[in-house]
Amino acid sequence: MRVVFLGAPGVGKGTQADRIAAQFKIAKISTGDLLREAVRNQTELGREAKRYMDQGQLVPDAVVIGLVRDKLAEPGSANGFVLDGFPRTVPQAEALGKVLQETQRPLHRVVKFEVPRQDVIRRLSGRRSCPKCQATFHVEFAPSKKGDACDRCGETLIQRSDDTPEAIETRLQVFEEQTAPLIRYYASKRLLSEVNASGSVDAVFEALFSVLAPYSAI
């Protein structure tokens, strides 16, 4: 199974990508995770990416495409994958298509997650993460039992620089202006499905499962 998850920041793509990857035994490829790892390691690529991420801007295509190409070439992606956070622009989608065409692994489905704007802001602004073990919490929906400290390792939790209200507004505007055309792009290729992601994690997963299950045996 080879699928792409589309949607604004905070719609739950990452959570569902984890579950789908585990259910169908395929690789989860998150460009956000790849980029944040590069930032943590303070590589040249990471430092360049951080300038854009801190402002809620998209990282340049050349950087992201290179990371994804390398990840798709790894043995762990041979049985299929779910792409979370890529592509975000039509040029990225076209580049991905070329990479997959070269290896004769076309996409099976593209899923768009639908969540009201006010819910996205609520989800993102309350998110907290552990800088040491990378555990994620939410001040309202999934708070740490230790308050401002991580349940797992005790490190003080932080709010990501791109989860501040100002950065969230910028991220949503960027999505609407630059990423939304992907919907039309994939719809024209008859690859697009839409899922209401406003419900519980389990309800969203059930909706996703019904969309993706037919492709598990391909």
Residue of 28, 71, 127, 128 marked catalytic: 127
Residue of 2, 50, 71, 88 marked catalytic: 88
Note every long-range contact of 172-181, with CB atoms under 8 Å and residues 24 or more positions apart, other chains counting. Answer: 172/8, 172/9, 172/117, 172/120, 172/121, 174/56, 174/57, 174/58, 175/8, 175/9, 175/88, 176/8, 178/58, 178/88, 178/89, 179/6, 179/8, 179/88, 179/89, 181/89, 181/90
Residue of 13, 71, 109, 123 marked catalytic: 13
Residue of 19, 105, 146, 160 marked catalytic: 160
Beta-bridged to residue 199, according to DSSP, are none
> For residues 3 and 14, is the Cβ–Cβ distance under 8 A?
no
**Of the candidates 151, 106, 109, 107, the residue with the CA atom closest to the CA atom of residue 132:** 151
Residue of 50, 112, 123, 171 marked catalytic: 171
Known catalytic membership, residue 2: no
Known catalytic membership, residue 109: no
Known catalytic membership, residue 146: no
Known catalytic membership, residue 28: no
Cis bond before residue 87 (omega within 30° of 0): yes
Known catalytic membership, residue 98: no
Alpha carbon of residue 88 to chain centroid? 10
> Which residues are marked as active site?
13, 88, 127, 160, 171
